[in-house]
Structure 1
């Protein structure tokens, strides 16, 4: 009976070793589970970005409004008959006056 118990104990120790430190152990399982969750969140962000890009491509293919908007913002398009105003100023004056009014209160 005693050798049988020793064999069972050795088998239990071997199984415990494989569970905690061997191939496909619990630590490896939790590490892979964490990596999978990070990868899935990254994939979700990329899918959202792809959808936005697909919508932008569709807008550019379907109409001239998106093209015109992009030309106005990026290239400074001004149509005939429009007046262009450029406001040049220092925002520091407005922020200083706001800070002074807050300090006086």
Structure 2
């Protein structure tokens, strides 16, 4: 009994050291938990973006209105027999 208590105490301290300072210790766990939380936030943002892209894909597949809108906005296309007016805003001349 005289040797059992010190041996158990030493074993307990070694296990505690490994728990707090060794590989895969509590500080490592906390850091990893924070990284997982950050990654979950990033994943949620990407899932929202993907949902918007899927909606846009469905809209483009289902009707011509979305295709026409993109053609007008991005490519500057106009329909046949349609008149296109381009206006310029006058720039103020600097005082000399």
TM-score (norm 1): 0.75
**Alpha-carbon distance in structure 2 between the residues aligned to 1:35 and 1:11:** 32
1:44 aligns with 2:44: yes
Aligned to 1:73: 73
Structure 1 segments of 4 or more deviating over 6 A?
none
| Range with greater deviation from structure 2 (63-72 or 22-31) | 22-31
Aligned to 1:30: 30
Report the CA distance between 1:87 and its aligned residue.
Answer: 2.5
Report the CA distance between 1:4 and its aligned residue.
Answer: 3.2
Mind listing any 5+ residue stretches in structure 2 that lack a counterpart? Answer: none
Aligned to 1:87: 87
Report the CA distance between 1:41 and its aligned residue.
Answer: 1.1
SS in 2 for 1:10: helix
SS in 1 for 2:3: helix
Report the CA distance between 1:7 and its aligned residue.
Answer: 1.7
Deviations 1:30-75 (A, max 9, x none): 1111111111111111111111111111111110000000000011
**Alpha-carbon distance in structure 1 between the residues aligned to 2:6 and 2:84:** 92
Aligned to 2:56: 56
The root-mean-square deviation of aligned C-alpha atoms, in Å, is 1.9
Aligned positions, number = 92
When you count helix as a share of all residues, which structure comes out higher?
A: 1
